[in-house]
Amino acid sequence: MSLIPAELRFAESHEWARLEADGTVTVGISDHAQEALGDVVFVELAEVGKVFAAGDTAGVVESVKAASDIYSPVSGEVIAVNEALADSPESLNSEPYTSWIFKLKPSNTAELEKLLDAAGYKAAIGE
């Protein structure tokens, strides 16, 4: 059983998204995703200023086992990336919900509603 915080939204591709008070959206990968990947050793981050549509490739997480693309769960412009992951990529394993990967200024917050809620994600991963 993996951790699925109730206040987050999830993409079927295993990213989580959180709408912050200032209207930005923070993105990371789920506990289920980090567990499936195994030990994360490198994160290729997007560039700040880049504009993504929902579902665009927004970086790569490399574990010892394999490289996996991460996708932007909603549309928007990248306003920050978590540079601390360069030195401690393993924090995606140890703290998947505090180790964010990037922050977006969303172009349409209604897209968040199209993402899965905690119960929907739980069902999607068969837990």
Looking at the Cβ atoms of 41 and 124, the one nearer to other proteins is: 41
**13 — phi, psi (to 5°)?**
-85, 15
CA 108 to CA 75: how far, in whole Å?
7
**28 — phi, psi (to 5°)?**
-150, -170
Looking at the Cβ atoms of 62 and 117, the one nearer to other proteins is: 62
Which residues are CB-neighbours of 4 under 8 A, at least 6 positions away? 10, 30, 31, 32, 118, 121, 122, 127
Question: Mask: binding to other proteins, 64-93, rule CB under 8 A, as x and -?
Answer: xxxx------------------x---x--x
Nearest alpha carbon to residue 71 among 49, 99, 104 = 104
Question: Mask: binding to other proteins, 24-63, rule CB under 8 A, as x and -?
Answer: --------------xx-xx-x---------------x-x-
In the complex, what is the shortest distance from the CB of residue 40 to other proteins, in angstroms, rounded to a whole number? 10
Binding site for other proteins (CB under 8 A): 38-39, 41-42, 44, 60, 62, 64-67, 86, 90, 93
